[in-house]
Amino acid sequence: MIFSSAIKRLCAAAVLGWALSGCATTGGANPADPLQPINRAIFGFNDSFDEFLLKPVAEAYRAALPEPVRTGVTNFFSNIEDVWIGANNLLQGKPEQALQDMLRVVINTIFGIGGLMDVAYDEGLDKHNEDFGQTLGRWGIGSGPYLVLPFFGPSTLRDGVARLGVDNAVDPVWTIDRVSTRNSLYTVRAVNARAGLLDAARVMEQAALDKYRFVRDAYLQRRRSLIYDGDPPSEPEAKRAAAPDETTVRQPPDFGRDDMRNAATERPANETANLCFEASALFVYPGTGAADDAAVASGAISIR
């Protein structure tokens, strides 16, 4: 029973991790990925898990439930996560954002019918995206090597330890004593998150010839951007020049909160392609991210 609970928890986090959003530059070999052979194997496992189980369930879920219902589910879990997001903002020395997060919880819980509606957003209180991995990075803890975690997707040594050791431990869903209720909530959260990223995942698959490399670079750049609140310092020239890519990629569209604009153009390998994403929930592929508006994923994806 404990093992079953752990697996379901991993699956939920995996889907949730998918919802990540970020901008990535497709590139060649990455010195931050010394464990690439192992990571690629796990990525392949995650990809298969998504293709044969998670994705079909998410498609059926989206077909069965109208968008307003799915939006309510997303808002409900987002409201729960705002508590820990606020705590991380406080730990990062950002009291103003932490206060906004707490106000979001109060307003959405009271006036948003238990968080089913994001009333706070309409009042100008934007959703933030913070986790303990970002908090560690904010205080100078290096990311360590890139890792792909089974079910969870893309991560790094720092982010993986933070997610498995801290973020999951303080997840309000994890504190529910009744195992059946807890596992049901994990499952709903995971499937709902994946359903919200079905369109984004399709675009990603059209955008890159090497899906592993695409997800890795998107994740690493997205995490770096999040740690510096969207304004990271310039990287050393030598690091940016790491290995030229020898492939051709497709430029995907930007994902807006309410729509996706169609676009797909060929770019030569020697021309940098900035790939930006924004979607809902924790992932697009079993992967990474915080449960809010998006993140990139692992063989499965995270978006913010």
Residue showing tokens 């893309």: 154
Indicate the domain borders of the chain.
Answer: 2-276
| E strand or H helix at 272 | none
Alpha carbon distance 121, 252 (integer Å): 28
Residue 202: per-residue pLDDT: 85
Model's pTM, two decimal places?
0.70
Long-range contacts at 250-255 (CB < 8 A, ≥ 24 apart): 250/206, 250/207, 250/208, 251/207, 251/275, 252/203, 252/204, 252/206, 252/207, 252/277, 253/203, 254/278, 255/21, 255/200, 255/203, 255/279, 255/294, 255/303
Residue 240: per-residue pLDDT: 52
Residue 239: per-residue pLDDT: 55
Residue 208: per-residue pLDDT: 65
Residue 23 in contact with residue 226, Cβ under 8 Å?
A: no
111 token code pair: 């006036």
Low-confidence spans in the chain with pLDDT less than 50: 1-27, 237-238, 241-304
